[in-house]
Structure 1
Amino acid sequence: MINTVEEIVKKAYEAIDDKKGEDIAVLNVGNISSMADYFVITSASSERQVQAIAHNVEDELEKEGLYVKGKEGHNTSRWILLDYGDVMVHIFHSEEREFYNLERLWKDAPYVDIDNLN
Protein backbone atom coordinates (compact mmCIF):
# COMPACT_ATOMS: atom_id res chain seq x y z
CA MET A 1 0.00 0.00 0.00
CA ILE A 2 1.24 3.46 -0.91
CA ASN A 3 1.34 5.89 2.01
CA THR A 4 3.44 8.82 0.82
CA VAL A 5 3.76 11.11 -2.17
CA GLU A 6 7.30 9.80 -2.68
CA GLU A 7 5.95 6.25 -2.99
CA ILE A 8 3.56 7.44 -5.70
CA VAL A 9 6.52 8.96 -7.55
CA LYS A 10 8.50 5.72 -7.27
CA LYS A 11 5.58 3.58 -8.46
CA ALA A 12 4.95 5.89 -11.44
CA TYR A 13 8.68 5.86 -12.26
CA GLU A 14 8.75 2.05 -12.18
CA ALA A 15 5.65 1.82 -14.40
CA ILE A 16 7.27 4.17 -16.92
CA ASP A 17 10.53 2.25 -16.82
CA ASP A 18 8.67 -1.05 -17.36
CA LYS A 19 7.40 0.29 -20.70
CA LYS A 20 10.79 1.70 -21.73
CA GLY A 21 10.06 5.37 -21.16
CA GLU A 22 13.03 7.47 -22.24
CA ASP A 23 14.93 10.08 -20.24
CA ILE A 24 12.77 9.83 -17.12
CA ALA A 25 13.12 12.96 -15.00
CA VAL A 26 11.63 13.69 -11.61
CA LEU A 27 11.37 17.35 -10.59
CA ASN A 28 10.53 18.52 -7.10
CA VAL A 29 8.26 21.47 -7.86
CA GLY A 30 6.68 21.65 -4.39
CA ASN A 31 8.61 24.73 -3.27
CA ILE A 32 7.87 26.73 -6.42
CA SER A 33 4.36 25.60 -7.37
CA SER A 34 1.08 25.03 -5.61
CA MET A 35 -0.20 22.69 -8.31
CA ALA A 36 1.90 19.65 -7.34
CA ASP A 37 4.88 18.45 -5.34
CA TYR A 38 6.48 16.41 -8.12
CA PHE A 39 6.52 16.21 -11.89
CA VAL A 40 7.53 12.91 -13.43
CA ILE A 41 8.48 13.50 -17.06
CA THR A 42 9.31 10.99 -19.76
CA SER A 43 9.24 10.61 -23.50
CA ALA A 44 8.60 7.91 -26.07
CA SER A 45 9.40 7.56 -29.74
CA SER A 46 5.87 6.72 -30.91
CA GLU A 47 2.28 7.60 -30.08
CA ARG A 48 1.58 3.93 -29.36
CA GLN A 49 4.36 3.86 -26.78
CA VAL A 50 3.09 7.11 -25.20
CA GLN A 51 -0.28 5.40 -24.75
CA ALA A 52 1.26 2.18 -23.44
CA ILE A 53 3.25 4.08 -20.81
CA ALA A 54 0.18 6.06 -19.72
CA HIS A 55 -1.93 2.92 -19.42
CA ASN A 56 0.76 1.16 -17.42
CA VAL A 57 1.10 4.06 -14.98
CA GLU A 58 -2.67 4.10 -14.47
CA ASP A 59 -2.85 0.31 -14.08
CA GLU A 60 0.01 0.09 -11.60
CA LEU A 61 -1.27 2.94 -9.45
CA GLU A 62 -4.82 1.56 -9.53
CA LYS A 63 -3.46 -1.70 -8.09
CA GLU A 64 -2.39 0.45 -5.13
CA GLY A 65 -5.83 2.06 -4.86
CA LEU A 66 -4.79 5.33 -6.50
CA TYR A 67 -6.91 6.67 -9.32
CA VAL A 68 -6.05 9.46 -11.72
CA LYS A 69 -7.87 12.68 -10.82
CA GLY A 70 -7.60 14.06 -14.33
CA LYS A 71 -6.02 13.19 -17.62
CA GLU A 72 -5.48 15.01 -20.84
CA GLY A 73 -4.03 14.22 -24.23
CA HIS A 74 -5.27 10.67 -24.81
CA ASN A 75 -6.91 11.75 -28.08
CA THR A 76 -3.68 12.75 -29.78
CA SER A 77 -1.17 10.75 -27.69
CA ARG A 78 1.51 13.36 -28.26
CA TRP A 79 1.53 14.58 -24.64
CA ILE A 80 -0.49 12.75 -22.01
CA LEU A 81 -0.84 14.32 -18.59
CA LEU A 82 -1.90 12.16 -15.65
CA ASP A 83 -2.84 14.18 -12.57
CA TYR A 84 -2.56 12.39 -9.23
CA GLY A 85 -2.87 15.55 -7.16
CA ASP A 86 0.57 15.97 -5.63
CA VAL A 87 2.18 14.08 -8.52
CA MET A 88 1.77 14.95 -12.19
CA VAL A 89 3.02 12.51 -14.79
CA HIS A 90 3.90 13.98 -18.20
CA ILE A 91 4.37 11.49 -21.03
CA PHE A 92 5.58 13.12 -24.21
CA HIS A 93 6.21 12.05 -27.74
CA SER A 94 9.93 12.86 -28.15
CA GLU A 95 9.25 15.78 -30.50
CA GLU A 96 6.78 17.41 -28.12
CA ARG A 97 9.09 17.01 -25.17
CA GLU A 98 11.82 18.83 -27.02
CA PHE A 99 9.42 21.57 -28.10
CA TYR A 100 7.75 22.20 -24.72
CA ASN A 101 10.90 21.53 -22.66
CA LEU A 102 9.26 21.45 -19.23
CA GLU A 103 12.63 21.01 -17.60
CA ARG A 104 13.64 24.45 -18.89
CA LEU A 105 10.32 26.02 -17.88
CA TRP A 106 10.71 24.61 -14.37
CA LYS A 107 14.48 25.17 -14.21
CA ASP A 108 14.30 26.29 -10.57
CA ALA A 109 12.92 22.89 -9.55
CA PRO A 110 15.61 20.48 -8.37
CA TYR A 111 15.96 17.10 -10.05
CA VAL A 112 15.30 14.14 -7.78
CA ASP A 113 17.44 11.00 -7.80
CA ILE A 114 14.81 8.26 -7.66
CA ASP A 115 17.19 5.97 -5.74
CA ASN A 116 17.51 8.54 -2.94
CA LEU A 117 13.82 9.49 -2.74
CA ASN A 118 12.49 8.86 0.76
Structure 2
Amino acid sequence: MQCNKCSHTIDRKAERYTVCKETCVKRYHAACVDLSNETMQALFSENVLWMCDECLLDFCNSRDADEDNVEADPCCSHQSVCETEIEGLKLKVTEIMETLATMLPDRIHSFCQRNTADNKLYNNQPP
Protein backbone atom coordinates (compact mmCIF):
# COMPACT_ATOMS: atom_id res chain seq x y z
CA MET A 1 0.00 0.00 0.00
CA GLN A 2 1.24 3.49 -0.85
CA CYS A 3 1.12 6.84 0.91
CA ASN A 4 -1.20 9.16 -0.98
CA LYS A 5 1.07 12.13 -0.18
CA CYS A 6 4.59 10.92 -1.02
CA SER A 7 3.68 7.83 -3.09
CA HIS A 8 6.19 5.67 -1.18
CA THR A 9 5.20 2.26 0.11
CA ILE A 10 3.92 2.15 3.68
CA ASP A 11 5.42 -0.61 5.81
CA ARG A 12 2.41 -1.45 7.95
CA LYS A 13 4.54 -3.20 10.58
CA ALA A 14 7.32 -0.62 10.90
CA GLU A 15 5.82 2.78 10.05
CA ARG A 16 3.15 4.92 11.65
CA TYR A 17 0.37 5.69 9.20
CA THR A 18 -3.25 6.75 9.15
CA VAL A 19 -6.26 6.16 6.97
CA CYS A 20 -8.73 8.85 5.93
CA LYS A 21 -12.01 8.05 7.68
CA GLU A 22 -14.15 9.83 5.10
CA THR A 23 -15.10 8.57 1.64
CA CYS A 24 -11.66 8.20 0.03
CA VAL A 25 -10.12 5.83 2.63
CA LYS A 26 -6.62 6.76 1.39
CA ARG A 27 -3.54 5.97 3.49
CA TYR A 28 -0.82 8.38 4.57
CA HIS A 29 2.45 8.23 6.48
CA ALA A 30 1.90 10.03 9.78
CA ALA A 31 4.94 12.21 9.05
CA CYS A 32 3.63 13.14 5.59
CA VAL A 33 0.49 14.68 7.11
CA ASP A 34 2.22 16.10 10.21
CA LEU A 35 0.58 13.81 12.78
CA SER A 36 2.43 13.85 16.10
CA ASN A 37 2.71 10.85 18.43
CA GLU A 38 0.04 12.39 20.67
CA THR A 39 -2.32 12.87 17.75
CA MET A 40 -1.74 9.31 16.55
CA GLN A 41 -2.58 8.01 20.03
CA ALA A 42 -5.75 10.12 20.05
CA LEU A 43 -6.81 8.56 16.75
CA PHE A 44 -7.10 5.21 18.51
CA SER A 45 -9.66 6.67 20.92
CA GLU A 46 -13.37 6.32 20.34
CA ASN A 47 -15.18 9.13 18.53
CA VAL A 48 -11.99 10.49 16.97
CA LEU A 49 -11.40 10.38 13.24
CA TRP A 50 -8.95 11.86 10.82
CA MET A 51 -9.73 13.14 7.33
CA CYS A 52 -7.34 14.03 4.54
CA ASP A 53 -7.31 17.64 3.32
CA GLU A 54 -9.49 16.87 0.28
CA CYS A 55 -12.19 15.08 2.27
CA LEU A 56 -12.04 17.71 5.02
CA LEU A 57 -12.65 20.45 2.44
CA ASP A 58 -15.58 18.49 0.96
CA PHE A 59 -16.96 17.92 4.45
CA CYS A 60 -16.73 21.62 5.34
CA ASN A 61 -18.36 22.65 2.07
CA SER A 62 -21.24 20.22 2.58
CA ARG A 63 -21.73 21.49 6.16
CA ASP A 64 -21.77 25.08 4.93
CA ALA A 65 -24.36 24.15 2.29
CA ASP A 66 -26.50 22.43 4.93
CA GLU A 67 -26.30 25.50 7.19
CA ASP A 68 -27.27 27.77 4.27
CA ASN A 69 -30.33 25.60 3.60
CA VAL A 70 -31.38 25.77 7.25
CA GLU A 71 -31.01 29.56 7.33
CA ALA A 72 -32.97 29.94 4.09
CA ASP A 73 -35.92 27.93 5.43
CA PRO A 74 -37.47 29.66 8.47
CA CYS A 75 -39.32 26.46 9.36
CA CYS A 76 -35.98 24.85 10.08
CA SER A 77 -34.52 27.57 12.27
CA HIS A 78 -33.66 26.71 15.84
CA GLN A 79 -36.03 29.36 17.15
CA SER A 80 -39.06 28.01 15.30
CA VAL A 81 -38.20 24.46 16.37
CA CYS A 82 -38.13 25.61 20.00
CA GLU A 83 -41.36 27.55 19.58
CA THR A 84 -43.06 24.48 18.10
CA GLU A 85 -41.85 22.32 20.98
CA ILE A 86 -43.01 24.89 23.54
CA GLU A 87 -46.46 25.09 21.96
CA GLY A 88 -46.69 21.30 22.00
CA LEU A 89 -45.72 21.23 25.67
CA LYS A 90 -48.29 23.91 26.51
CA LEU A 91 -51.01 21.86 24.83
CA LYS A 92 -49.92 18.75 26.71
CA VAL A 93 -49.98 20.59 30.06
CA THR A 94 -53.47 21.90 29.29
CA GLU A 95 -54.63 18.37 28.45
CA ILE A 96 -53.19 17.04 31.70
CA MET A 97 -54.82 19.83 33.71
CA GLU A 98 -58.18 19.14 32.06
CA THR A 99 -57.87 15.42 32.77
CA LEU A 100 -56.97 16.12 36.39
CA ALA A 101 -59.86 18.56 36.69
CA THR A 102 -62.33 15.82 35.77
CA MET A 103 -60.78 13.42 38.27
CA LEU A 104 -60.25 15.72 41.26
CA PRO A 105 -62.67 17.35 43.72
CA ASP A 106 -64.29 20.72 42.96
CA ARG A 107 -61.76 22.69 45.01
CA ILE A 108 -58.83 21.46 42.94
CA HIS A 109 -60.92 21.75 39.80
CA SER A 110 -61.37 25.49 40.41
CA PHE A 111 -57.64 25.80 41.13
CA CYS A 112 -56.84 24.18 37.77
CA GLN A 113 -59.36 26.43 36.01
CA ARG A 114 -57.83 29.53 37.62
CA ASN A 115 -54.29 28.46 36.60
CA THR A 116 -55.45 27.83 33.05
CA ALA A 117 -56.93 31.35 32.97
CA ASP A 118 -53.71 32.78 34.46
CA ASN A 119 -51.68 30.90 31.85
CA LYS A 120 -53.79 32.39 29.06
CA LEU A 121 -53.32 35.88 30.51
CA TYR A 122 -49.57 35.25 30.69
CA ASN A 123 -49.59 34.34 27.00
CA ASN A 124 -51.69 37.43 26.13
CA GLN A 125 -54.72 35.32 25.30
CA PRO A 126 -58.26 36.05 26.49
CA PRO A 127 -59.21 33.77 29.47
- Report if TM-score (shorter chain) is over 0.5: no
Query: Which structure: greater helix fraction?
Result: 2
> Structure 1 length normalisation: TM-score?
0.20
Query: Which structure: greater strand fraction?
Result: 1
Rg (Cα) greater in structure: 2
